[in-house]
Amino acid sequence: MHAIIQSGPQQIRVTKGSTVLVPGTVGEPGAAVTLEHVLLVEKDGGDVVAGAPFVANARVTAVVDGETRGPKIRVFKKKRRKGMRRTKGHRAVYTQVRITDILL
């Protein structure tokens, strides 16, 4: 059984027992989290339940393992012949969650 959930701007395919990175801070390490935005659920028999846009009464439960940061993004701006150069950057924060159950 697997599901496709929406977390922020991303759609993530999850299965029971898998570990995924969710953008942003979801909760404290060790806390149980319920993800409500389920777009699609495929059962073991091959039955597919699709939502419009979300599947009614479907949820994914997970346990927060910790936080991590993504790769450093560099933003470089330059105007030619003006001597203007500027470098900025950031690293996105992700929460690592372990999927415990998919409920339909």
- Rounded to an integer, the average pLDDT of 3-10 is 93
Cβ 38 vs Cβ 58: under 8 Å: yes
Instruction: Give the pair of three-digit tokens for residue 14.
Output: 């999850």
CA pair distance 37, 87, nearest whole angstrom: 37
pLDDT for residue 77: 97
Q: What is the DSSP string of 82-94?
A: TTEEEEEEEEEEE
CA pair distance 48, 58, nearest whole angstrom: 13
CA pair distance 14, 4, nearest whole angstrom: 6
| pLDDT band with cut points at 50, 70 and 90 for residue 8 | confident
Q: Model pTM? A: 0.81
| pLDDT band with cut points at 50, 70 and 90 for residue 14 | very high
CA pair distance 37, 41, nearest whole angstrom: 11
pLDDT digits (tens, 9 = 90+) for 24-71: 998 899 999 999 999 999 998 889 999 899 999 999 999 999 999 999
pLDDT for residue 74: 97
pLDDT digits (tens, 9 = 90+) for 66-95: 999 999 999 999 999 999 999 999 999 999
DSSP 58: -
